[in-house]
Amino acid sequence: MSLEEIYKREEALLEGHFLLSSGNHSKFYLQSAKVLQNPKVAEELAKELASRILESGLKVDVVCSPALGGVIAGYELARALGVRSIFTERKDGTMTLRRGFEVSKDEKVLICEDIITTGGSALEAADEVESRGGEIVGFSALANRGFCKRVGTDTTPDLKCKLPKEKPLFALDDFIFEIYTPENCPMCKEGSEAIKPGSRN
């Protein structure tokens, strides 16, 4: 079953008029929490992602996720890889390692998100890990929104992608759909209002 089929089966591929955390608008939204609420599904997806990472030969000591979205995916991926799982969270707007989480000097750290859109939060988590002495060996996510190039595809990264090009990005699949600035959003032009996904339930 494809990743898109799994998201549809779990009613996690939403259609409407959404305000994304980046401030952009979209007709679709991937509600990964609905997929990951089933531990069996989360485990299976993480195992598949882990097998692709292991096949590549990448060495990972720790998985680090930006909270909140990446935490479950990162935890399951760490379990599948047999390594530690930590997360960064925002404090006064800055992505920070708290709760006693530490990264040893030169520990090899893989950043994990549920979805990589432009990779902004993932990059902030990576910067925090590097400032603590860790070595970022790559990025990972269940799904890639198609702006960044993932391992196994030969697409050209979009200018919106913020991830460093020299580091690999592992994801199970690409979900490609348009995002719009509020000024260019066709749904706004039709007079509807963008909502924050999940804000109504």
Contact footprint for Zn ion (CB under 5 A): 25, 185, 187-188, 194
Residue 18 or 75 with smaller CB distance to Zn ion: 18
Q: What is the distance in angstroms between the CA of the first residue and the CA of the last residue of the chain?
A: 28
Residue type, position 118, single letter: T
In 3D space, the residue among 182, 196, 188 whose CA is nearest the CA of residue 21 turns out to be: 196
Residue 64 or 185 with smaller CB distance to Zn ion: 185
Residue 54 or 187 with smaller CB distance to Zn ion: 187
- Please, what is the minimum distance in Å from the beta carbon of residue 197 to Zn ion? 13
| Strands 135-144 and 169-174, sheet pairing | parallel
- Please, what is the minimum distance in Å from the beta carbon of residue 182 to Zn ion? 6
C-alpha 190/C-alpha 51 separation (Å) is 45
- Please, what is the minimum distance in Å from the beta carbon of residue 192 to Zn ion? 7
Residue type, position 17, single letter: H
* H helical segments located in the chain: 3-9, 32-36, 39-56, 71-81, 120-131, 186-189
State the residue number with the nearest CB to Zn ion.
185
Q: Residue 93, by phi and psi: left (phi above 0), alpha (psi -120 to 50) or beta?
A: left
- Please, what is the minimum distance in Å from the beta carbon of residue 31 to Zn ion? 18
Residue 25 or 145 with smaller CB distance to Zn ion: 25
Which string of DSSP letters, residue by residue, matches 130-156? HHTT-EEEEEEEEEE-SSSPPTT--PP
Residue 90 or 189 with smaller CB distance to Zn ion: 189
- Please, what is the minimum distance in Å from the beta carbon of residue 158 to Zn ion? 20
